Amino acid sequence: MARLKPGDAAPEFQLTDQHGQTVRLADFGGGKLLIYFYPKAATPGCTRQACSIRDAREELVDLGLAVVGISPDAPARQQKFDDKYNLSFPLLADPDHRVAEAYGVWAEKTSYGKKSLGTIRSSFLIDAAGKIVAAWYGVKPEDTVPKAQKALGRG
């Protein structure tokens, strides 16, 4: 698994969000973006992570930061997740995990002693020029927002 590091170009993506709209990395050109990858919508850790981002939304906007979440879930499952928790930011479907692979977050995981391939919870701060500012692999759900805030000088 190749890991991205500060200074690397953020891999391009074009994915469908929970509303059936196509979202591209280029759509955020000229602004800062926090991309976070999560294993499965509406599971406990993923819900804590998404709700912490939702709850920090005003401060993140004040920092000039847009947010997108990416998981292997289908758009319909993403929509249910958004509706249930009123997330109100793009949740992107990556069912073939090509984008997760490009960001180095699709890897072997061990859960309850069983090995499988899946999404390693990770987040990336991308600058207006499309470069990685910070990459956090294996980030805890509750650490996504504080790490981004600190990287932006608000921690």
Q: What is the pLDDT of residues 101-131, one digit of tens each?
A: 999 999 998 878 889 999 999 999 999 999 9
Q: What is the CATH number of domain 14-149?
A: 3.40.30.10
Domain ranges across the chain: 14-149
Q: Is the pLDDT of residue 137 over 90?
A: yes
Average pLDDT for 140-152: 95
Q: At CB < 8 A and 24+ separation, what contacts does 43-52 make?
A: 45/121, 45/141, 46/71, 46/81, 46/121, 46/141, 47/81, 47/85, 48/141, 48/142, 49/121, 49/141, 49/142, 49/144, 50/81, 50/85, 50/87, 50/91, 51/85, 51/87, 52/141, 52/142, 52/144, 52/145
Whose tokens are 């406990």? That residue is 44
Catalytic position from the list 10, 15, 41, 46: 46
51 in active site: no
